[in-house]
Structure 1
Amino acid sequence: METVLIVDDEKNYPPILSAVLEEEGYETLTAASGREALELLDGSDVDLVLTDMKMPGMDGIELMERIKITNPDLPVIMMTAHGSVDKAVEAMQKGAYTYVLKPFDNARLALYVNKAISMYQVIKENHRLKKDVEAQYQFGNIIGRSKAMHGIFETIKKVAPSSATVLIEGESGTGKELVAKAIHFNSPRKDKPFIAVNCSAIVETLL
C-alpha cells in the first residue's frame, strides 16, 4: 500500500486529508513542520508528499528542495491559499508535481495524488529494471573461468571507460553481443540506450 506524507502546521487539515486519502486506499503520515517531515522521510517509505506552502520555519518550497536532494523523483504536491498562487507556480518550476488550492476539492485532490503516485511507481520500476539489466552484465555474471576468459574480462575493464570504437571478433554463438553489452553497461555511457544492429540483414551498400 502506498503512503502519503501530509505536512501542515494547521491542525484542521491533516485529519481531513488523511480521511480523504485513506478512502482512496492510501496510508497516511502527518507532520506539523518541515523538519518533522524530513525526520519521517528519513525512516519511512513514502510515495508522495502533500505539503502546505506557507509554514513557520521551513516553508513548503524549502522542504521540497531538501527532499529533492536525496530523492529527486519523489512527487511533491503543494497546498496553497488563493493569494499564494504565484508561489505555487514557482514551486512547480522548481520541481513540484502540481498544487491544490485551499479549501480543496476532494475529487480533484484524489485525482492529482493518484496520477502522481502512478508516475512515481513507473519511475521506480524503470530504475529497478535498469539495475537488473546492469547487474546482468557485470563481470561476475559472465560465465567463464578459463585463463582466456579472464583475459577478456581484463580487456573489457580497460576499454569500457574509454570512448574508442571497439571491434569484437569471434565465431557465431561465442558471446560477442554479451561482451559488447558488458562493455556498454560498465562504461560511462551505461545510462544511454544499447542498440544492437543485425548487420547481416542490412544491404552492403548501407554499411
Structure 2
Amino acid sequence: MARVLIIEEQEKARKSLVSVFKREGFETCDGTGWGGAAELFGRNAYDLIIVDLGVRPADGYEVLKTIRFSNSDAEIVAIISQNIYDADRLASCGVYDCILKPFRQKDVIDIGKKALEKKLLADKVRNLEQIMDMNKMILRKKS
C-alpha cells in the first residue's frame, strides 16, 4: 500500500486531503504543517508527498530540495497559489506535477495516482536492473 504524506499549514485543507486519500485506500498519516514535516521525514519513507508551497514563508525550491534529500524515491506533487514557479526548475527539484489553487480534490487524487503509477514502474525497473546486475556477477564468477 502506498504511503502518502500531506504537508499543508491550513488544517482544514490538510484534513480534507487526508480524508480523501484515506477513502481512496492509501496509507496516509494525519498530515502535518511545516513544523512537523522534518520529524516525519526522519522517521518514515513515503511514496507520495503532497506539499503546499503557497503558504511556506521560505523559498519553495529549498523546501523541495529538503524533501528530495530526505525521501529520494518519493514522488512529489506541489500545490502552489500562483504560477510564480518555473516548471523546469520545479522538475529539477523532483516535482512530478503541480496544481494551482484553488484546486478540486479529485484533481489532486488523479495526479497523485498517476505519480504513484510512475513510482511503481520506476521501482520495477530498478528491481529488474538489480537482478540483471546480480546475474552478471554470477556469470562472471562461473567463468
Query: Contact (CA 8 Å) 1:8, 1:52: kept in 2 or not?
Result: yes
Which of 80, 84, 87 pairs up with 2:85?
87
Query: Contact (CA 8 Å) 1:80, 1:88: kept in 2 or not?
Result: no
Query: Contact (CA 8 Å) 1:53, 1:80: kept in 2 or not?
Result: yes
Q: Quick one: distance in 2 between partners of 1:59 and 1:31?
A: 18
**2:45 maps to 1:45:** yes
Q: What percentage of aligned pairs have identical amino acids?
A: 22
Compute the RMSD of aligned alpha carbons: 2.4
Question: What residue number does 1:5 align with?
Answer: 5
CA distances 1:33-66 after superposition (whole Å, capped 9, x unpaired): 1x63232122213111100113445454322112
Between 93-102 and 55-64, the greater mean CA deviation after superposition: 55-64
Matched letter for residue 84 of structure 2:
D
User: TM-score, normalized by length of structure 2?
Assistant: 0.82
Question: What residue number does 1:31 align with?
Answer: 32
Query: Contact (CA 8 Å) 1:80, 1:101: kept in 2 or not?
Result: yes
CA distances 1:125-166 after superposition (whole Å, capped 9, x unpaired): 11112112212232xx45xxxxxxxxx85xxxxxxxxxxxxx
Matched letter for residue 90 of structure 2:
A
* Displacement after TM superposition at 1:93 (Å): 5.0
CA distances 1:166-187 after superposition (whole Å, capped 9, x unpaired): xxxxxxxxxxxx75xxxxxxxx
Q: Quick one: distance in 1 between partners of 2:73 and 2:116?
A: 11
Cα distance 1:106–1:88, how it changes in 2: closer, same or farther (>3 A)? farther
SS at match of 1:137: helix
Query: Contact (CA 8 Å) 2:45, 2:71: kept in 1 or not?
Result: no
Q: Quick one: distance in 2 between partners of 1:135 and 1:126?
A: 14
Q: Quick one: distance in 1 between partners of 2:96 and 2:102?
A: 19
Query: Contact (CA 8 Å) 1:52, 1:78: kept in 2 or not?
Result: yes
Matched letter for residue 86 of structure 1:
I
Q: Which of structures 1 and 2 has the bigger CA Rg?
A: 1
Alignment gaps of 5+ in structure 1: 143-151, 154-177, 180-207
Q: Quick one: distance in 2 between partners of 1:104 and 1:78?
A: 12
Cα distance 1:45–1:69, how it changes in 2: closer, same or farther (>3 A)? closer
Q: Answer 1 or 2: which has greater strand percent.
A: 2
SS at match of 1:49: strand
Question: What residue number does 2:132 align with?
Answer: 133
Q: Quick one: distance in 2 between partners of 1:59 and 1:7?
A: 15
